[in-house]
Structure 1
Amino acid sequence: MTAPGRRSSTFTRLLRHGFTDPSAAERLLDSVELAAVRDDPVLLDALGATADPDLALHGLVRLLEAQPSPTARRELLDTLIAAKPLRDRLLGVLGASAALADHLARHAGDWHALVMYEPRDLHPGVEEFERGLGDAADPVSLRVAYRRCLLSIAARDVCGTTDVAQAAAELADLATATLRAALAIARAAAPDDAALCRLAVIAMGKCGGHELNYVSDVDVVFVGEAVDGADEGKALRAATRLASHMMRICSETTVEGTIWPVDANLRPEGRNGPLVRTLASHLAYYQRWAKTWEFQALLKARPVAGDLELGEEYVAAVEPLVWKAAERENFVADVQKMRRRVVENIPAAEVERELKLGPGGLRDVEFAVQLLQLVHGRTDATLRSGTTLSALEALAAGGYVGRADAAQLEEAYRFLRSMEHRIQLYRLRRTHLVPEAEEDQRRLGRSLGLRTEPVSALNREWKRHAAVVRRLHEKLFYRPLLDAVAQLAPGEARLSAEAARERLVALGYADPAAALRHLEALASGVTRKAAIQRTLLPVLLGWFADSADPDAGLLNFRKVSDALGKTPWYLRLLRDEGAAAQNLARVLSAGRLAPDLLMRAPEAVALLGDGDGGRLAPRERAQLEPEILAAVGRASDGEQAVTAVRGVRRRELFRTAAADIVGSYGTEAQPAEADQGALVDLVGGAVSDLTAATLAGTLRAVVRDGWGDTLPTRFAVIGMGRFGGHELGYGSDADVLFVHEPREGADEGEAAKAANRVVSEMRRLLQIPSADPPLLIDADLRPEGKSGPLVRTLGSYEAYYRRWSLVWESQALLRAEPVAGDADLGRRFLELIDPLRYPAGGLGEDAVREIRRLKARMESERLPRGVDPKLHAKLGPGGLSDVEWTVQLIQMRHGAEVPGLRTTRTRQALAAAREAGLLGDADAAVLDEAWVLATRVRNAVMLVRGRAGDTFPSDVRELAAVGRYLGYGPGRAGDMLDAYRRTARLARGVVEELFYGG
């Protein structure tokens, strides 16, 4: 039993050496197995140098217990104390890998594999590993020999004898040797099959690239040919049996565990295709059917086992196809889409811990490097390496990547791969998730050399490197474009103009020559402005390329930069405020409306920053109207006043459009997951409030110019249609009614003249030609339509509605809401019309039939000729009209008894009808989705084309831009149209039931 004084001293030393459970460690040190060395400081120091001293000590005791005799145990201890290389290797492995400790406990003599310390042992190749596996005659012995070889790789790795790239290459060489051994076992088991065929095993993925993980699928492709005189069909069946047996040998689980799964799903047609094909069959598939990602995968193809001559023929045959992949239509878009799909498929709970596939992870580095290789490797054979770090070095040497960027990316990649290796080494399990438990993070941090506060240091370094990867992943592909046109420091490598043009074409720029001219104008020179542009443009180019019209985005950026070039805050805003540059890129490449608005008011770029709690949030009427009225008050006459009002309207329309676009596209920090209904409500409410404030300002200007402070009659503007419903789109007209009431003592004739003059002057001022989007006042919903007076007194409206009102007019009044002028008069107008729009007792059957008749007539008469009705967002089946007439029929039938239905807003009325049980939840959801989608389509068309429209554009780029706004990536316009038809078809089914009565 240990004396208390010595125990206290040992306990303190154990803590100092990094043990987390000193009491348990003391008990292990007091065990019989360690009795001879328990006080040897060499052992304690060596244990303290491991990733997990507790784990290392426990593994050592298990290894000593497993020795077959006291003599063997003594030999191990003596060698351990005397030989530092063995001590570092063995304890290093035991402190980093519980799985390899288990192996050593089962195979107690395998520690001898760590004794050698000769030059060839430092970096063994395939031949050395083949010798290590040479005695394996069956699957079980192969697994044991494989783990023994793996033990030596891990020992060199954890001791720093090899770096992460060398360790990954050794793992790939060991996999190569293992595939050869497994194939030899399979051939020995079926000599008749072996005699019929030639079989080549082509490594793909990380094994092919000489950068394998400790635990990873080994991706392969099989090529088979008949030997001379053999039947091809029989030969391929024989080759398939050999390949299948080889895969089972490696993949099956036994008491010795699994070597690793062999995955052949990268073959033509994936798991649905034949396991083994002839070389001619492979070529036929790649020439006719292969997708972009398959050529990307072939970058790493390497013959590793079987008939190596046939394997080399395969690689030589497919190589020219790989280096033509960048010429394929939508090449870059396909690669980027594949990367996005990988991220989207990560479970939400794991995305922040995903070391390989998450944003800023290993796959970001690999995709960026491979993309650059495929684009430039056609003409530069130095880039054709299957190994990520070698390819990155070649890209830097060739000037395709800046040297500083390449160095940062290499450092980050090495760190992240080291993390991945250490995580997998612990249990020898295939995982890329950073562990959550503190003890696991502590061991991981210490294994990477982070000994001071290893948990916090690990997370700090991990996040730092991930941030570097995220930034450079975006930047890598675009920065060298600037090198082709900018004045760079002497001696820096530059991309040739031809290579720059090729890259721009691959990115989707239709006019690369013009794009290069824009880049030269923006980034050339030695001014501070040019330097900032060179910092901004690499990322901006990527964001433009992510849009449907990169050329327009870059052109618009040049125009804005020219307009604001001497403004000191402009480039500083884009450089320093994280969201501003990306928001600007989204806005400038999303269509015509927002850029046109911005060109007329370039200073509105300031709205795109991320300060002030979010400057893109649209302003409400209560904020807008005082500003507009103040501007009117400063103007000298009505025309100048309306010019000032238009300036505010232009800026606020831009703010709303920008908020809509950014909400639809998303940003790097905030992906596009916005509620589509919320975006529709945002636009509808913002444009409606802005229109109301504009009319209020125009009315104030007219009254001031004609009558001073007081008009001889009370005057109100009533919003109708989408205006009254707070549902205006960017290109909507403003439907209104005008009502007046003579003031007490005023002459009624003079009051009527004044009211008509007000209406005429408001319309004249608002129709003065301007480059801004027009604001058209439409009063056709007034009594008697175009034949009736533009403005009536409240009494005249009452008389008309009492005697002559038709059911369609009552329906139109469902949207009536005062928007400008005398608030009390507006309130009394609503009191007048409420009994009409919400009739007591509901609608009679005659009225219902009349509404249905009018709807059917409108469908047959108002749809434009030559337009596909199923894609007409307003009048087509399942479009806006269908949903709105259905909701309005419910309002007129039940509004008198259901207060929630007394709203001018379609979605609110629909929700109230659902809550009242007037339609089911599923039907309400279908109608709401259809209405939101149709509204989004109309808004998208206006944003993209700069003019209103109710159908999808026929121009390919415009259609793609509408798709991008609606959340559909490159090449998915067909999916968008199918989704619209499906949504509209479902809505039409509900309308048939609810509106037409089934």
Structure 2
Amino acid sequence: MSLPPLVALPKPLLTLVTRAEETFLGALNDTSGTMSARLDAWPAERRDAFGRVCAASDFVIEQVSRDPEMLLRLADDGLLERSFKCGEMRSMLAELLVDCTDEDALGHQLRRFRNRQQVRIIWRDLTRQADLSETCGDLSDMADACIDLAYQWLYERHCEHSGVPTGRRSGLPQQMVILGMGKLGARELNLSSDIDLIFGYPEGGETVGAKRSLDNQEFFVRLGQRLIKALDAPTLDGFVFRVDMRLRPYGSSGSLVLSFNALEQYYQDQGRDWERYAMIKARVVGGDQAAGKELLEMLRPFVYRRYLDFSAIDALRTMKQLIQQEVRRKGMAANIKLGSGGIREVEFIAQAFQLIHGGRDLSLQQRPLLKVLTILSGQGYLPAAAVDELREAYEFLRYTEHALQAIDDRQTQMLPDNQTDCDRVAFIMGFDDWESFHQQLLYWRGRVDWHFRQVIADPDEDEESEGEALVGGEWLPLWEQDWDEEFACRQLSDAGFRDGQAACQRLAALRSGNQVRTMQRLGRERLDAFIPRLLAQAVDQDDPDLVLERVLPLVEAVARRSAYLVLLTENPGALQRLLELCAGSPWIAEQIARFPLLLDELLNAGRLFSPPLAPELAAELRERLARIPEDDLEQQMEALRHFKLAHRLRVAASEIAGTLPLMKVSDYLTWLAEAILEQVLALAWRHTVARHGQPRRVDGSLCDPAFIILGYGKVGGLEFGHGSDLDLVFIHDGDPNAETDGAKPIDGAQFYTRLGQRIIHLLTTQTTSGLLYEVDMRLRPSGVSGLLVSSLSAFDRYQTDEAWTWEHQALVRARVLVGCPQLAADFEKVRASVLARARDLDQLRREVSEMRAKMRDNLGTRATQAGTAEKAFLADGEFNLKQDAGGIVDIEFMVQYAALAWSHQHPQLLRYTDNIRILDGLEQAGLMTGDEVRLLQDAYKAYRAAAHRQSLQKLPGVVSGDQFHDERRAVMRIWRELGLS
């Protein structure tokens, strides 16, 4: 929402204004008349603002009446009407602390500074000169300055007395690290917040330079106590900030300060779910910033898990239930933070997504709530309309919180219980009366509560509230109680399993398997909650036996990482999609069992069955990698692999669901490979240049990168499949003899060889998420004995003078996948020159036929003489879709033959690299009839569709001989008519 509007002062508040102004004027005690003159010089707008503030805030009136000069100076300096510049708050306080001689003086100056800034911040908030972001930012900057400058002042004097704390291992001076948690950490501090702090220090040791050395921990404990006193102790000037240290390890009973090792050990071994929630917002607010950054990096794995962590929802749900119990016990329903539909529920919604997905989606590793909401919308975690409502509701609630706290600088989120304060809150919020404000407040709390239930609510809650049986409740006795095999088999059979005995045995094997028997208590509880849901949904499938057979290996695979079971328990729609996909394809079932992180893709049906187009695909991958530090190669490799796995699953799911036809499946898989290769080349280039500098062209200019990756075969022909290898060739246009310009120079030939090796390493290295692609480089000039990377001129010479006909056939399907646009254009000229030369057609037919005969002999079905014997057309025979006569390779060879035979007369045949469009070109050139072209295209698509189906069923590309009779005979006929044998 925008800033609450300004409204006229209501009559009940006018008496407050009159009384406040009289108090202030009386406090001036201005015998010389100079202060009154300064006040009289105020413009009308400032006088009106003073009246608004007097009506709304007893705190401001109290402060300016105690110290009228403070307000006049704020006004004279123009600080009431302008925003602070970056660092200005800190500079002001630093100047005040220069002359402090003891801790009493330090405390006095801190409190006076805080009161002065608090008056300014409340003034600007109530007069609508500062929005929510500026108010929270100013309050957080004030806290940062007070904490860090007080710490620095105390540290220096503490070292003078007790020596400098020094690391036992490093021998370096040690500083404390002060973490700000909660709203301070997120820079969302409200007008009267506590500050939640955690203290740490890098390493153990003892102080140096004093008569009696202290252990580092003892040194920092004493320093921490002094810092808390400087900030928290009430004096005649009030306090700076109330300090809460209960979020530290072991809470109030734990040591005030711990070393980094002790902190890491605690969170690793004993950290609880609520501590993960709290640590999301942790920020270094004082002390050693560099060491603090290291500490947060150490603790990041505790907060953000690398797998999908739906257990976070259950933890947040439990926390919310405890809060609700406290709200009910203390009668706090009117609390706009903790009550139903309050600020905390918006925070829980955002943090649920952060804890679940933040380990993999680094963009969610943010502290400020409004930034997280923007990402939830932008990344598709929540609908934009829902996020807009949550943002507007949150801002309304936060403005209301500030209105409540501005009255008396009191830490409260309770709605007022007296008419005067009700009038004040309505006035501050821009409403004419309390009733209209309260009605709007109830509306926003209702919307927040609704959205909260959609995200956080227990999936069984509705059934429980309506007195219905829990989902899968009928299966609980079968799974949880003493195993009665006869009863279990009968129940499974009655529910729709064809073979109840086999289903029973599968479940019994899971129950008694080592993975389940050694599960911890929490994991076993999650499994016990999941299995009944699984069975309840399985019996609704067409083939529950098949579903159970394919899904239980996944259950066993994730049993020790039970957060995945929570994901499926929490998301019935995702479970249903899992069962449907596993029923449709054992390949998909195996992929998800091997890489359970793919379960994330099942959460959003719209996204699952609608893979993005090529530009969006490339942009999404670039964005993902941009969030990873450039030097974190392990994370980059994992991100690339997860991206490939996720999008390959989406394509397979769309293919099974029938939302993506065959040609589009190949297009998407090809685009996916291209998007990945683009980023792999960028990573390899950056790494190689960082080590050796940039290579040079022959003219001396720097290469950037003067390198292309050629795709042959399926990727070149835009016919990529789910398990296809990458047939690649690398070409550069650098000077092979010129040295690179880096600190460790090497010649251009070496540089590009290492670049090629790096690319292959990135593609083929096995990580926890598998490899990216198998890579075949045998189509490069001279094959396995040739250079890994060729210059374009060497490639041209080889193709012109040395290449075999089969290599020119392969070149028909070659195209540039990624790399330098200019070099890509130069390659196309070389390709066209090589392929479009006039050839002896008899010799060409003979060489193409001989190569095809070798392939049939080696790869075709022997029992049917590669599909030529009569048995090849019988039901008990076999037809190899790719290699047998009349199959895929025959069509590919005819297309390649035609391109080599006639492209010198019809260069348009070389425009495309895929068989379908080359066939279109043959028809347009009058080299084949429309009927022949359509027949070959339809047969080719039918074969490839069948091969894709076989692949998804984890079957070889072989079908029974009684299939595709017409297509095979027609392809063989056209083969003969072209003079091929």
Give the TM-score of the pair, scaled to structure 1: 0.42
Give the TM-score of the pair, scaled to structure 2: 0.43
